[in-house]
Amino acid sequence: MSFLELKNLSYSITNNDILNDINLNIDKSCFFSILGPSGAGKTTILRIITGALFADKGQVILDGEVINYLPMEKRQIAMVHQSKYLFPHLSVIENIQFGMKMKKFDKDKIIKKTEEIVEFFNMKEHILKYPYQLSGGQQQLVALMRALASEPKVLLLDEPFTGLDNNLKIYIRDYILKLHRQFKITTVMITHDKEDAFFMSDKIAFLFKGKMLLCEEPGKLINSTGIEEVDSFLGQITSLGDGSIVFSDKILKIN
Amino acid sequence: MKIFNKIIFTLLMIFLLLPLLSMLIWTFFSSWASNDNLPSNLTLKWFIYFVNSGDWLIGVKSVLFSISAAFFSLILSIMLSRFFIKSSFKYKQLESMFYLPMLLPVVSVCIGSHKMLLNILGIKGSIIVLILHIYFSLPYAFKMVYSFYNVWGIEQEQVARGLGANRWKAFYLINVPIYLNGYISSFLMAFIISYSQYFVNFFVGDYNSVNFSMIMTPYITGSDRNIASVYIFLYMLYGIIVMLLCTGIEKMYNNRKRNERI
């Protein structure tokens, strides 16, 4: 049985279909990516999963429970936005501990967990700083730390590398993969970047104009999918056979 | 460029303070003969009159009344802004409706609401006055709060809720600190609009609705410059005290937060 399931999800604004009959099954501890061009409805899916939006039709099922009308705070789903949305009036450590305090973790656990996460992300020297004193990459890390600290059942990543330069992107991407391996949190990432999706995901779903066109393991997307929109978005992909694939002129080592 | 800025600043200060200068002189001096260099006869007798006549109490009531009108306007503005920020495009088009009271003549609104609220619904005069004060101050308060919401959005609150904070905690712990400046400015704007209302109280209110503007006006139109100046001075003073209190509360809140962190 899937850990997170979207069943016949539809959402529209003033008669414009933003999402049309979306079905997705995401396994526990899986790193799942929703790939698609801008305006495909990717963020809307995440907003419905978090409870910031209500679907017109369909169900969101988490761990066997329908959570459509469950308040956001009871869903145990944390989201990291592309704009970070750190709390500007709180220091880094206060940002990290916010979720734990809201969930009423005991004091010792809060301290232990904070130390563990700060060490994991190597951010000890920044914990007393405020968000405006951090670089874009550091802010993204703090947003990740904050989400992770609240021990969510599902971690949602909304275009987490937007606005970061390539080196920083690789740095944060590695951290995300490392934390996924260590904490085994079911993670759903939305992105328009096919390289990120291929590099990080156990499974990729392709969303186009509010419709889910396919959901496959990255390895199975290397050859033509037979779906015009997907093939034209992914372009030419060649496997080199050693775990590396070539996107146009860029080689990506998947393993 | 620096000198140019300084000149502009000085000119603006003069422009701002010059009209107050003659008022201040006539507040404290009862005569200034044409052949004298300086005003003479320092007196506080109109201040004493203000206290003894009980008008100070009307001033206090007036301030408290405007504080409550501003408070309600602020609450409604927050609710409205949150509605508009979350709602779809078709509702957003209705935003301008809420600025209508800025344009409508006070007299037409007063006549209409007087007829409807007092005669038909039987609501008490002082309640109608409060409703109308909120009606006229709401657009200003809303405009200010909504512009803050347009800049900051409510995503931070949603993130907080995703992290486990309930609606109230997300509002109190995240929204209020971020928006505090906007809320205080909006409150002050609504306060000033309500505090300076004359016609609404005069036209709709009963004897309980006499406010500072009403008691001040006869003195100003009565051409006794000393007493008029004293009343204007005290009218300003009451308003300034409220502004200073609000700024003080804001500073206290921020200091408390800072100390909590330290």
The predicted pLDDT at position B216 comes to 87
Predicted model pTM: 0.83
Q: What gap in Å lies between CA A188 and CA A34, rounded to an integer?
A: 7
Closest partner CB to B177 (pick from A14, A89, A152)? A89
The predicted pLDDT at position B92 comes to 76
Helix segments in A6-158, DSSP class H: 42-50, 92-102, 107-121, 136-149
Q: Which of B234, B162, B248 is nearest to B195 (CA)?
A: B234
Q: What b/e sequence results for A11-20 when a residue is b if at least 16 CB atoms lie within 10 Å of its CB, and e otherwise? A: beeeeeebbb
Mean pLDDT of A115-141: 89
Could you list the pLDDT tens digit for every one of the 262 residues in chain B?
A: 789 999 999 999 999 888 888 888 888 888 888 888 888 888 888 889 889 988 899 999 999 999 999 999 999 999 999 999 887 767 777 888 888 888 888 888 888 877 777 777 777 777 888 999 999 999 999 999 999 999 888 889 999 999 999 999 999 899 998 899 899 999 999 999 999 988 888 888 777 788 888 888 888 888 788 888 999 999 999 999 999 999 998 888 877 776 665 4
- Chain A 185-244, CB below 8 Å of chain B: which residues? none
The predicted pLDDT at position A251 comes to 63
The predicted pLDDT at position B250 comes to 86
CB < 8 Å to A188, chain B: none
Q: What gap in Å lies between CA B262 and CA B258, rounded to an integer?
A: 6
Q: What gap in Å lies between CA B119 and CA B123, rounded to an integer?
A: 8
Side-chain half-sphere of A237: how many Cα atoms within 13 Å? 24
Check if B112 contacts A (Cβ < 8 Å): no
pLDDT surpasses 70 at A255: no
Q: Which two tokens stand for residue A71?
A: 């308040």
Q: Looking at this predicted complex, what is its ipTM?
A: 0.86
Amino acid type, B210: V
Q: Which of A199, A204, A194 is nearest to A176 (CA)?
A: A199
Check if A54 contacts B (Cβ < 8 Å): no
Host H or E run for residue A186:
strand A186-191
Check if B10 contacts A (Cβ < 8 Å): no
Q: How far is CA B253 from CA B64, B149, B239, B242, in A?
A: 22, 21, 21, 16
From A106's Cα to the closest Cα of chain B, the distance in A is 15
CB < 8 Å to A99, chain B: 163-164
Reported confidence tier of residue A155, pLDDT bands at 50, 70, 90: very high
Strand, coil or helix: what is A131? helix
Q: Which two tokens stand for residue A41?
A: 């409805």
CB < 8 Å to B160, chain A: 87, 98, 102
pLDDT, tens digit (0-9, with 9 covering 90-100), for A54-79: 899 999 999 989 998 899 999 999 99
The predicted pLDDT at position A248 comes to 64
pLDDT-wise least confident of A27-31, A101-105, A229-233, B5-9: A229-233
The predicted pLDDT at position A223 comes to 74
Check if A87 contacts B (Cβ < 8 Å): yes
Q: What gap in Å lies between CA A206 and CA A76, rounded to an integer?
A: 25
Q: Which of A123, A116, A125 is nearest to A143 (CA)?
A: A123
Average per-residue pLDDT for chain A: 86
pLDDT surpasses 90 at A192: no
Mean pLDDT of A9-37: 89
The predicted pLDDT at position A174 comes to 86
How far separated are the first and last CA of chain B, in Å rounded?
41
Q: Which residue of B has its CA nearest to A129?
A: B261
Q: How far is CA B62 from CA B58, B185, B198, B222, in A?
A: 6, 20, 11, 22
Sign of the Cα torsion B4, B10, B14, B17 reads positive
pLDDT surpasses 80 at A123: yes
